[in-house]
Structure 1
Amino acid sequence: MPYPVIALVLSMTSTLGTAPASELSVRYEHPDSPRAEQARKLLKDSDALETRIRLPEKVKVVARDCDSPAATWDHDERRITICYSLVDKVSDTMTGISETEEADAGTTAARVDGALTVLFHHELGHALSTLNGLADSDQQADQFAALTLAADKPKRVVPAAEARHLLAAGHAGIDHLSGTAESATFACLLYGADPARYARIAQGGWVPAERAPSCTNEYNRVKSTIGSKAVKIGT
């Protein structure tokens, strides 16, 4: 029986950084090449897969070598898979963009971490959709991702919005991070979660200027539709 969405989008412990291991486990499989090892280390050091989000069922997160660069959710197996080759592709693409802009190493690292965090929360969005008995789609996964990312990792919201904007604008062809319209909507939802705190999203033009004033309403509408009172943070 699916869990009603009103009962759960996410629930968090009161201690920052404490993940409910009984609900979500993370495993980094042994890489088969030096390049994959670099990607494994990058992903692990980024903390992109660390979360305080509670799910209605146990979910496994597995980082591993794959035949092609991808990030996927398998409902039958209750498993999120992040491929090392995708991590490598994200890192290479973002590094190239940053080098073109002559961005410093700290900015580049923040953008890579932001992009990897978006990928994980997008797959978490697919998990929340299907575990709650909802029709699954990339659009809805993005909506869940905006809600969970803003609540779970507020310090990563701005880098995440910037990273996705840069990758979409550059037509990188990376699954879940491509598409300028999708990027703008995602940025709008993140900005709408707290316009004062995330003012840089609007200032950077990652959401169109004419759309920015409506982003709070867009965020609240999405929260009401798929989250309502379910977004709970421990005190």
Structure 2
Amino acid sequence: MNHKVKALVFDVYGTLFDVHSVAAKAQSLYGRNGAELSQLWRKKQLEYSTLREVMGTYKPFSEVTRDALVHALHELGLPTDQAQQDALMEEYKALSLYEEVPAFLTEHGDKRLAVLSNGSRDMLEPLIAGSAIHGQITDIFSVDDIRKFKPSPAAYEYAHEQLGLDPGEVLFLSSNGWDIEGAKNIGFQTAWVNRSGQANEELDNRPDTVCEDLNGVSEWLEKQ
């Protein structure tokens, strides 16, 4: 039987905030290549964080994100002008919230609300502080504090230790299937916010619930 959920822990990028809201800025800088740049940038950002975790060559996510941007620009044959890079990096501090996020957090304000992100604090703190959910998130857990990227077990254990709850009392929410696997691996309950309709990961675990957005998670929680 599932434990009563006392804390909701959210992934940030792609779960609460739309990483591809940077595409508008990219299009203003690079025209028709903007959308493709946004997609490739995100792909390499995830790859680089995973590779650095495997190789043991940690860098803060802000540096990983810039490295991924430079690679994407080179891959697409686009200029790597420093001012344009800086403009795009600043967009990561002003990503758009998904529409249902503020109301969802308000609805579940009786629970502890935290984020666990690969993002470094120089990215996360201004992003959250400048958004409509400022003040609703009680804890910001950055893997930069322990220098271990998700889905390393150490990243989720860090959040677990900080919360001081039984793992089964924590519901971890992410739009990334690999992230759900990592959280489930240490005993968190999990809600896969499968915004893009991805297929199940063929690893060892299955999420406790799969929803198209956070509204579906509310429906699931009501039944628990």
**Into which bin does the TM-score normalised by the smaller protein fall?**
under 0.3
What's the TM-score once normalised by structure 2's chain length? 0.28
Between Structure 1 and Structure 2, the one with more helix by share is 1
